[in-house]
Amino acid sequence: MYEYKDLITKIELLLVAVLTYLGINKNAAGVLFLLMVLDTFAGGLKAIILKEGFTFKKMAAGIASKLSVLVVPLTIALLGRGMSFDFSMFLLMIMNILLVGETFSILTNILSIKKRESIKNFDFITLVISTIRNSMYNIFKQMLSKIENFKA
C-alpha cells in the first residue's frame, strides 16, 4: 500500500513540475481536469437516462477525447519554450476557454437530463483548436514571406 501512495506522490510532483516549467497554471489545470471528470459523468448519466445507448466503449472514447484536449495547452507551451516566446497570456486564454467549454458542456448535459431531451452542445473545443491552428498557420506563413522577401 505504501508503494502505491509513494508512486502517486511522485507522479503528482512530476506533473506539477512539468506544468510549472511550461508556465501552465496548475490550479487551472486541476480545475479543468475535475470539470472533465464531471462532464464525463454527466454525459454518461444523460446517455443512460435518455436511453442513448450508454456503453463503456463510448465512455472510454469520450475520456480519450477529453485527455487529448489537454495536449493543446501543453503543445502551445512547448512551442513557446522551444521558440523562446512568452505565451503565458495565450496559455491563460486557452485554459480559460477550455474551462468555459467544459462548464458549458456540463450545464448542457444537466439541462438535457432535466428536460428529458437531448440538447445539442456547442463544441467550443473544436472551435478553439481550429482557431489556434489557423492563426499559427497565418503567423508562420507571414514569417516565411518576410524571410523570402528579405534583402541583404
The confidence score (pLDDT) of residue 114 equals 95
The structural domain count of the chain equals: 1
Q: Give residue 132's domain range.
A: 2-148
CA distance 39 to 69: 14
| 20 vs 115, higher pLDDT | 115
φ/ψ region of 7 (left if φ > 0, alpha if ψ in -120 to 50, else beta) reads: alpha
pLDDT digits (tens, 9 = 90+) for 122-148: 887 788 888 888 988 998 888 888 888
Instruction: Determine how many CB atoms are found less than 10 A away from the CB of residue 1.
Output: 5
Nearest Cα residue to 94 out of 122, 131, 67: 131
pLDDT digits (tens, 9 = 90+) for 40-72: 999 999 999 999 988 888 888 888 888 888 788
From residue 92, alpha-carbon distances to 9, 32, 88 in Å are: 26, 12, 6
CA distance 73 to 47: 29
Mean pLDDT of 112-130: 87
From residue 67, alpha-carbon distances to 6, 39, 78 in Å are: 24, 12, 17
Instruction: Please tell me the least confidently modeled range out of 4-8, 30-34, 94-98, 148-152.
Output: 148-152
| 12 vs 114, higher pLDDT | 114
The confidence score (pLDDT) of residue 1 equals 55
pLDDT digits (tens, 9 = 90+) for 78-102: 888 888 888 888 888 888 888 999 9
